[in-house]
Amino acid sequence: MRTWPALGSILTPLLAIAILASPAQAETEETVSTRKGVTISFVVTEPKGPIKSAAILFTGGSGKVKLWKGRGARTNNFLVRSRALFANHGVFTITVDVPSDRRRKGLVYWRDTAEYRRDIAAVVKWVRSRTKAPLWLVGTSRGTVGVAYLAGTLKIDGAVFTATVTEVTRAEKPTAHDADLRKIVVPSLIVHHKEDGCRATPAESLPAFAAALKNALKVETILFDGGGPDISGPCKARSAHGFLGIEEQVVEKITNWMHTN
């Protein structure tokens, strides 16, 4: 286990603005074995008060948080930079990295594999050993693809999809629709920004995605606007795609929904 300094002491000014409502919090890093010769590491951000729920956060893109570099979780991704906000709302928060054998290639074409399911199952087991609170999988952008594959096969209590990847781009990477969404039976929340300009995550595709979650106990879609202005490309984290400027509002809505469903 590695202990990291308070978040406020390691963030750049831009990231500090992104989580301006979050008090500095100490974090720990944990590593568990998954498959033979393979480990997976994750950052644990604990609430200061009672634990109301637990959540495993899945970043987008390649899925890399790069904890092996020894600098903590320092990416611009919406969920990664907002992890303390989840903890502020009583969520035992796990920010998961890629497994040790995917540090070079990341999770591209890997989120739908049996190996990755085993990796995350090991994280789920670790979380269950620490708290009996309801456990949610929360993904953003490409991380929603992983949640789509995992939520129907792991013993969890709910799923949250933010900036959901529903359309194939030139990269021909899998989308959330490529998973067997009929297997997802837990409550599922879809969160999106109305002005998300990423070609892979158009807001108009959400009704079809919600309809595909037909076996989920409950499905709800929450749309946001405001924030910004964008200071990155439309598919990058510092834009409407990453809920720039409204992180606290978005996390509050997500956690309230988690706690009541």
Contacts of 185 (CB under 8 A, 6+ apart): 152, 215, 216, 217
Tens of pLDDT, residue by residue, the chain (261 residues): 544 444 433 333 344 444 433 444 679 999 999 999 999 999 999 999 999 999 999 999 999 998 988 777 777 899 999 999 999 999 999 999 999 999 999 998 899 999 999 999 999 999 999 999 999 999 999 999 999 999 999 999 999 999 999 998 766 578 999 999 999 999 999 999 999 999 999 999 999 999 999 999 999 999 999 997 889 899 889 999 999 999 999 999 999 999 999
CATH number of the domain that residue 72 is part of = 3.40.50.1820
247 to each of 82, 124, 134, 135, 161, how far by Cα in Å?
Answer: 7, 25, 23, 21, 15
Range of the domain at 69: 2-260
Q: How far apart are CA 200 and CA 168, in angstroms?
A: 6
Q: How many domains does the chain have?
A: 1
Q: Which amino acid is at 153?
A: T
The pTM assigned to this predicted structure is 0.90
Structure tokens at 44: 């644990």
